[in-house]
Chain A
């Protein structure tokens, strides 16, 4: 083990972890803003309940994203100081823009929204969730601008061996960014869609199981009521509406993810052909998309790789839009890379002890090959399940089957898996470069950096082992806490965010035109004491 490997594991673990929270934040934030808008416009009770319930879950998740995001901002300098020095002129700018233009908005307006129930004018309160939600999306844009620059450096000139920004517009309109951004947002929405679907399914199922809702002779739901526990007719509407919204969002976002993913792949065949060849474990040139390739992927050795099943012409279609273009395989690409970037790391002090070692231009194929396929499979499964779910609930509720319910709940994980797999694929596929060189005409050819040169020279192996262990342990423990808390609040249903529903008055529409009123505060349990100069909150 050397420092470089530990630093890479640390970046991978902290980033993948951070990105478990991020897509749910982006996707759910937007959906909560839409629910809040629906309540604002119609005044219907179920929309208020939806806003509060999903809003509560959004917040439980949001804070973990914030907390782990801090690590992202700091760790470039901490563990990757050579990288920070090399790219600082161009890479720091989008990060600083994110902080100044997006993250401030997100944090401050979310604070206003959480504590603004019953305190802000209704329109301002609604505006605050929209500001927060749109800022999370803007955040994604700036961060992806930085990441896309690593995939496809643009807008710079090499001066004294370092890329110096000469065109910020090129960085902010990088073609890699323009497809990665919608791809990521759709991916985030698919996570939120699956989340709504799974949780709502559980509650519709629970209502049936507890004998509240029944099914009539025509198969239509007969909605019952258990007002003592807040499970009245409006409660049924909350879950049915949420389920349908979740399913529609899941289907639409899958369409979006597919379209943008296709564009992304076409770009990537140009910009990082080796990444795409490794995604296919494609050793030889050809047109076929591998369904199953046999051989020892782990050995990264092309000599024993055999594609057992292929879709002829499909790879060509993915890359080029036709069926008969030969796509270059690893055996063709490898000599090209070696010729252009050398076979061994240069004898330069920035490579430390790694100077002079042989460069492996082929990314770890078992990761790229399976990462690519897991992403697509999980994405497709989630979308297919959403279509089925829409059909199943057409008569107003879900079947009594416990297994179907479990499937819906565990199905929440599929889009998360697709998101993680996609990121692991694209980041691992960029190796051995941290800044990938671009052979395509509009790329800037000589801008690249080997990952081996990027790590902090002054930070010792022991320090990295300590931090990797500490982050992994803490993150692991906090994941358990977050998931348990989310599960508790999910199971609690709407009253977990609106406890007043448990205490009697559940007359439908009671809060129609009441701005939170006596139920103000985050959890709705705040009570204005009447004194003008006193605030009460629910922390």
Chain B
């Protein structure tokens, strides 16, 4: 077993886990802009809980993608070209969502706000589903030929695992967001968010648990049984702690569920990074897909410096904006008029 490619597999799994943990709640909050939030003030409360942090969270996705390009070009090329159409939709969804969050409050008009609310909600939903489908498929396989190219047409990637992965991330995001709102808001929004966690946590986490369990069964590694159990414990703890009104610990419980879940998933598939459903010989593995040791070494130095720095200053942001956001503290909107 080669060391550096394995290290980089772990690093990329780490980026994906960080992405799901952080952007998980802001995607979920985005989805809740319609349906959950009842009026403009509540929508602004929702947006302001993620306002200072969502953009930094999204960089985890970019970094996961770029790190895959640098460390495993074959994986990056096969996965991204194989999932061409779904990724186009993910990109458009992320564009609408990002622009929506920033532009929504810039014009004082109900029509304008309502349009962007839908853009944020649907954008968040499509992005979460698409990223989930992509992760689901990279763990279960695509119809790849010997060169790593998808065969069978534009929709050849579509199967039950794509849907399961998509539902897994959407479900997790919603539960995670509800727990986040219970932790970060006050008043009615907080109460309803807490009720949502208690009611929907078992349903929302089920697809991710099913996905992880399916991989444990397919690949049969003992250690993954243990991590899967840890994930289950995290989920149960999150529910019990929410019930007990311990918002922060409940949110942390979801974190344990996610980390143990992704550890289960990535450990189960290791060392395969992208199986071919046509012929096992065409599957991409940590070794066959990786860059040279020199490149991985350089990137390791960069990561060794970069990752701790990111954790420190991103952590600082969360600390600065640690207070709850309340409906009563949302100032009135104002219109921009020409001078």
User: A residues engaging B (CB < 8 A)?
Assistant: 59-60, 63-64, 66-71, 73-74, 76-79, 81-82, 84-85, 87-93, 95-101, 103-105, 107-112, 114-116, 119-120, 159, 164-166, 168, 203, 206, 210, 229-231, 456-460, 462-463, 466-467, 470-471, 474, 478, 481, 485, 488-489, 491-493, 495-496, 499, 521, 523, 525-529, 531-539
A536 to B333, CA, bound (A): 13
Q: Apart from A81-B81, A478-B95, A539-B44, what 20 extra A-B contacts exist at CB < 8 Å?
A: A66-B98, A69-B62, A71-B91, A77-B81, A78-B84, A88-B74, A91-B69, A92-B73, A96-B71, A100-B302, A105-B313, A107-B56, A107-B59, A115-B321, A458-B145, A466-B88, A488-B107, A499-B334, A534-B186, A537-B48
- Smallest CB-CB separation from B67: which chain A residue? A96
B95 adjacent to A70 (CB under 8 Å): yes
B77 adjacent to A85 (CB under 8 Å): yes
Contact of B56 among A90, A108, A535 (CB under 8 A): A108
Of B218-226, B259-267, B291-299, the segment with at least 4 beta carbons within 8 Å of chain A is B291-299
Question: Can you offer 25 A-B residue contacts whose CB atoms are under 8 A?
Answer: A66-B58, A70-B94, A78-B80, A84-B80, A85-B148, A89-B292, A92-B71, A97-B302, A99-B63, A100-B67, A100-B306, A104-B314, A107-B59, A108-B55, A456-B149, A458-B151, A459-B84, A467-B85, A467-B88, A470-B88, A474-B95, A492-B336, A525-B334, A534-B329, A537-B48
Interface size class of B (residues with CB under 8 A): 35 or more
Note all chain B residues with C-beta closer than 8 A to A457: 147, 149
Note all chain A residues with C-beta closer than 8 A to B145: 458
A95 to B302, CA, bound (A): 12
A95 adjacent to B69 (CB under 8 Å): yes
Note all chain A residues with C-beta closer than 8 A to B298: 93, 165, 168
A92 to B70, CA, bound (A): 4
A534 adjacent to B80 (CB under 8 Å): no
B69 adjacent to A84 (CB under 8 Å): yes
B95 adjacent to A68 (CB under 8 Å): yes
Note all chain A residues with C-beta closer than 8 A to B101: 63, 539
A115 to B102, CA, bound (A): 13
B99 adjacent to A67 (CB under 8 Å): yes
A531 to B63, CA, bound (A): 38
Contact of A108 among B78, B88, B99, B313 (CB under 8 A): B313
A67 to B96, CA, bound (A): 8
Note all chain A residues with C-beta closer than 8 A to B334: 499, 523, 525
Contact of A166 among B48, B61, B294 (CB under 8 A): B294
B66 adjacent to A165 (CB under 8 Å): no
B98 adjacent to A74 (CB under 8 Å): no
Note all chain A residues with C-beta closer than 8 A to B84: 78-79, 456, 459, 463, 467
Min C-beta distance of B312 to chain A, whole Å = 10
Min C-beta distance of B239 to chain A, whole Å = 26
A294 to B324, CA, bound (A): 69
A115-B51 CB under 8 A given contacts A101-B306, A499-B334:
yes
Note all chain A residues with C-beta closer than 8 A to B217: none
A467 to B89, CA, bound (A): 9
B69 adjacent to A77 (CB under 8 Å): yes
B338 adjacent to A88 (CB under 8 Å): no
B82 interfacial by beta-carbon distance below 8 Å = yes
Note all chain B residues with C-beta closer than 8 A to A528: 329
A466 to B328, CA, bound (A): 46
Contact of A537 among B51, B98, B106, B324 (CB under 8 A): B51
A164 to B54, CA, bound (A): 36
Contact of B302 among A78, A91, A96, A229 (CB under 8 A): A96
Note all chain B residues with C-beta closer than 8 A to A60: 102-103, 106
B73 adjacent to A84 (CB under 8 Å): yes
A231 to B337, CA, bound (A): 13
A492 adjacent to B337 (CB under 8 Å): yes
Note all chain B residues with C-beta closer than 8 A to A534: 186, 323-326, 328-329
A165 adjacent to B292 (CB under 8 Å): yes
Which interface residue of A76, A77, A495, A528 has the most chain B CB atoms within 10 A?
A77
B295 adjacent to A90 (CB under 8 Å): yes
- Smallest CB-CB separation from A62: which chain B residue? B102
Give the 4 A-B CB pairs with smallest separation, nearest first.
A88-B73, A77-B80, A92-B70, A458-B149
B176 interfacial by beta-carbon distance below 8 Å = no
Note all chain A residues with C-beta closer than 8 A to B147: 457
- Smallest CB-CB separation from A110: which chain B residue? B55
Contact of A63 among B71, B103, B153 (CB under 8 A): B103
